[in-house]
Amino acid sequence: MKSMKSMKMDDIIQKLYIGMDIHEDYITGTAMGKDGVLEFSGNFRNTKEAAQCFLSGIPSPQVIIAVEACGLWRGVYNMLTDLGYCVVLANPYKTHQIVGAKDIDKVNSETLADLLRTGYLPQVYIPTEDVFLLRDAARHRKRLVDVRTQLKCMTRSYLMREGTKCPKGWSKESMEFFRNANPYTAHFINIIETINEQVKQINKVIKGIACNTSLSNLLQTVPGIGAFSSVMILGEIGDIKRFSHPKKLVKYAGLCPGIYQSGSKSYSVKDKACNKYLKWIMYECSGIAARMDTKYQKHYWRVKRRKSQQVARRSTARRMLTDVWFMLTHEKEFTPS
Kindly report, residue by residue over 145-200, the tens digit of the pLDDT.
999 999 999 999 999 988 889 998 999 999 999 999 988 999 999 999 999 999 99
pLDDT digits (tens, 9 = 90+) for 225-245: 999 999 999 999 999 999 999
Selection from 69, 46, 70, 216 nearest residue 133 by Cα? 216
User: What is the per-residue pLDDT for 62?
Assistant: 86
User: What is the per-residue pLDDT for 11?
Assistant: 47
User: What is the per-residue pLDDT for 8?
Assistant: 43
- Nearby residues of 241 by Cβ (< 8 Å), 6 or more positions away: 329
Selection from 51, 56, 112 nearest residue 82 by Cα? 51
Question: What whole-number distance in Å separates Cα of residue 78 and Cα of residue 132?
Answer: 13
Question: What whole-number distance in Å separates Cα of residue 190 and Cα of residue 196?
Answer: 10
Question: What whole-number distance in Å separates Cα of residue 30 and Cα of residue 248?
Answer: 33
Count of CB atoms within 10 A of residue 168's CB?
6
Question: What whole-number distance in Å separates Cα of residue 152 and Cα of residue 163?
Answer: 17
Where are the chain's structural domains?
9-124, 129-212, 235-330
Enumerate the H helices of the chain as residue ranges: 48-54, 73-82, 92-99, 105-118, 129-160, 172-181, 183-211, 214-219, 227-237, 246-252, 276-289, 295-306, 309-330
Q: Identify whether the C-beta of residue 275 lies closer than 8 Å to the C-beta of residue 236.
A: yes
User: What is the per-residue pLDDT for 121?
Assistant: 94
Sheet holding 26-32, edge to edge: 38-45, 26-32, 16-22, 63-68, 86-90, 123-124
Question: What whole-number distance in Å separates Cα of residue 135 and Cα of residue 277?
Answer: 10
Question: What whole-number distance in Å separates Cα of residue 127 and Cα of residue 238?
Answer: 6
CA 49, distance to chain mean position in Å, is: 29
Ranges in the chain, pLDDT < 50? 1-13
Selection from 209, 201, 203, 194 nearest residue 147 by Cα? 194
User: What is the per-residue pLDDT for 7?
Assistant: 46
Q: Identify whether the C-beta of residue 134 lies closer than 8 Å to the C-beta of residue 235.
A: yes
Eight-state DSSP code of residue 223: T
**Burial track 119-141 (b if 16+ CB lie within 10 A, e otherwise):** eebbebebbeeebebbbebbeeb
Decide the pairing of beta strands 38-45 and 265-269: unpaired
- Say whether pTM exceeds 0.75: yes
Give me the CATH topology for the region 9-124.
Nucleotidyltransferase; domain 5 (3.30.420)
